């Protein structure tokens, strides 16, 4: 089935075709019809499967049609998300898909001045995409009213739980009109999430994508055993061998992010970092450079990169393995988005083998090993441009030192 064959408005079809979306992805195929019928939906779909459009297409179609008959102002659809980047990204999809429909969408998040946001909110927004904190601030100041909401969407609900937003979600639900549609999207599922989901949705249509393999089938992912201290040389090699590819590198902490950045700088590889210590503007700036391909390597921590969609990321590198096994799925899901193919490789140090086992247990299968034979391993170390660590450079330096060293003169005894 193609989008052309759907009973959705001509404008949306045109917008989809502009984006190059011809056929629905799995999640879109399964979600669009029940959402259009007004059903509640509980969907388990990993990132990169096209889930944003899976809810945006039917929501835009329904609201655009209603807008022609019902002219009452007020926010009609509320999308709650865990991070600012995700809010922006979803708003971008809504904006692109709702061109020429008269619907207005807006993303709201903390960490920036609120005056401009308040003025935008007064311009009759139809679809609000928001992180919980700033929304509550503005509700309490009387700038946001939720009494016209017809559709509530929770995206990355599992991550919302991890970040402790459960009370916020329940509070929002209480403020909504009793009759509304709820769409609940999560990348992973466990007892806690199920409990939350069933407290929010009514007789939902349940949709699960690839239940046995949480990693998208478009991603070729593997593990390579590399000593902690040698990881940077392998990253350097990957970057040098793939100069045109975008590489997203995941590290455990902000300090590690800056350290890897410096290591790359020493070998003349341009990269940028994104983590919680960076100002919001800086984060957007860095993301934009990477998205446009002006910088090919982005070094990120888990929190800062959750849910973000960057087109054409060819490689994801787990420079450090994630402490939380679920995060493996989120990280490798940054590549192979939509219908693209992607590669993910985890650099596993000796001390990370236990974490790797936990990840494999979570996935329910072993991760394929990319074997590096001894010779290849040492060649990689030899090839580094990092003169502090380049064995060849050291040997050469040593040779020159010995050559230039003057023979010691024996001091004559008087």
* Contacting positions for ligand AMP (CB under 6 A): 21, 24-25, 28, 47-53, 309, 311, 337-339
Minimum Å distance from CB 56 to ligand AMP?
A: 8
Whether 132 contacts 171, CB under 8 Å: no
| Beta strand residue intervals within 144-270, DSSP E | 151-154, 181-186, 205-208, 219-225, 246-250
In the bound complex, what is the minimum distance in angstroms from residue 214's beta carbon to ligand AMP?
14
Closest CA to 61 of 38, 90, 92: 38
Nearest residue (CB) to ligand AMP, 49 versus 318:
49
Residue 302 backbone phi and psi in degrees, to 5: -60, -50
Q: Which residue in this structure is represented by tokens 């807006």?
A: 106
Report in angstroms how near the CB of residue 383 gets to ligand AMP at its nearest: 34
Min separation Cβ 308 and ligand AMP, Å? 8
Question: Least Å distance between CB 329 and ligand AMP?
Answer: 13
Q: 301, 313, 333: which is closest to 213 by C-alpha?
A: 333
Minimum CB distance to ligand AMP smaller for 339 or for 353: 339
Residue number, 292 or 407, with CB nearest to ligand AMP: 292
Q: How far is the CB of 3 from ligand AMP (least distance, A)?
A: 7
Question: Toward ligand AMP, which CB reaches closer, 87 or 144?
Answer: 87
CA gap 96, 53 in Å, rounded: 10
**CB of 187: closest distance to ligand AMP in angstroms?**
9
Q: How open is the CA angle 98-104-337, to the nearest 5 degrees?
A: 45
Q: Which of 187, 105, 203 is nearest to 154 (CA)?
A: 187
Helix axes 84-97, 10-19, angle to 10 degrees: 120
Query: Six-digit token pair at 44?
Result: 């388990």
Q: Residue 28 or residue 98: which is nearer to ligand AMP going by CB?
A: 28
Residue showing the smallest CB distance to ligand AMP in the complex: 338
Query: In this complex, which beta carbon is closest to ligand AMP, that of residue 51 or of residue 231?
Result: 51
Q: Within 10 Å of residue 102's Cβ, how many Cβ atoms?
A: 11
What CA–CA distance (Å, rounded) separates 389 from 230? 10
Shortest distance in whole angstroms from residue 316 CB to ligand AMP: 14
Query: Rounded to an integer, what distance in angstroms lies between the CA atom of residue 107 and that of residue 91?
Result: 6
256 or 306, CB closer to ligand AMP?
A: 306
**Nearer to ligand AMP (CB atom), residue 76 or residue 337:** 337
User: Is the CB of 46 or the CB of 384 nearer to ligand AMP?
Assistant: 46
Q: Say if CB 341 and CB 220 are below 8 A apart.
A: yes
CB of 389 to ligand AMP, least distance (A): 37
Q: What is the C-alpha to C-alpha distance for residues 55 and 53, in angstroms, rounded to an integer?
A: 5
Give ∠ CA 368-238-392 in degrees, rounded to 5: 115
């Amino acid at each position: 089935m193609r989008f052309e064959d759907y009973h959705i408005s001509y404008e949306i079809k045109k917008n989809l075709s502009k984006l190059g979306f011809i056929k629905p992805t799995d999640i879109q195929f399964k979600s669009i019809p029940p959402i259009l019928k007004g059903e509640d939906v509980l969907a388990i779909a990993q990132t990169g499967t096209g889930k944003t459009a899976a809810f945006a297409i039917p929501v835009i179609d329904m609201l655009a049609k209603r807008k022609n008959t019902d002219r009452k102002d007020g926010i009609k659809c509320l999308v709650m998300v865990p991070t600012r980047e995700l809010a922006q990204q979803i708003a971008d999809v809504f904006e692109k898909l709702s061109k020429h429909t008269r619907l207005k969408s807006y993303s709201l998040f903390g960490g920036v001045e609120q005056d401009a946001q308040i003025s935008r909110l007064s311009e009759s927004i139809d679809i609000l995409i928001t992180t919980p904190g700033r929304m509550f601030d503005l509700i309490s100041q009387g700038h946001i009213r939720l009494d016209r909401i017809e559709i509530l969407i929770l995206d990355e609900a599992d991550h919302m739980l991890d970040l402790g937003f459960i009370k916020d979600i329940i509070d929002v639900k209480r403020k909504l009109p009793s009759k509304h549609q709820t769409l609940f999207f999560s990348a992973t599922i466990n007892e806690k999430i199920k409990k939350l989901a069933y407290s929010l949705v009514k007789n939902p249509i349940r949709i699960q994508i690839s239940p046995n393999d949480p990693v998208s089938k478009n991603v070729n992912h593997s593990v390579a055993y590399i000593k902690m201290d040698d990881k940077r040389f392998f990253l350097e090699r990957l970057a040098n061998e793939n100069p045109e590819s975008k590489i997203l590198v995941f590290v455990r902490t902000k300090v590690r992010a800056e350290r890897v950045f410096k290591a790359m700088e020493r070998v003349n590889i341009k990269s940028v970092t994104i983590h919680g210590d960076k100002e919001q503007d800086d984060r957007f700036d860095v993301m934009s450079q990477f998205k446009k391909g002006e910088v090919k390597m982005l070094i990120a921590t888990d929190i800062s990169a959750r849910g973000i969609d960057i087109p054409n990321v060819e490689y994801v590198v787990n420079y450090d393995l994630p402490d939380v096994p679920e995060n493996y799925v989120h990280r490798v899901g940054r590549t192979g988005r939509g219908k693209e193919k992607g590669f993910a490789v985890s650099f596993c140090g000796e001390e990370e083998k236990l974490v790797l086992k936990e990840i494999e247990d979570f996935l329910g299968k072993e991760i394929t090993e990319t074997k590096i034979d001894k010779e290849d391993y040492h060649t990689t170390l030899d090839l580094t441009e990092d003169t502090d660590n380049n064995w060849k450079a050291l040997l050469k330096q040593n040779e020159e030192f010995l050559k230039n060293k003057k023979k010691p003169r024996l001091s004559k005894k008087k």
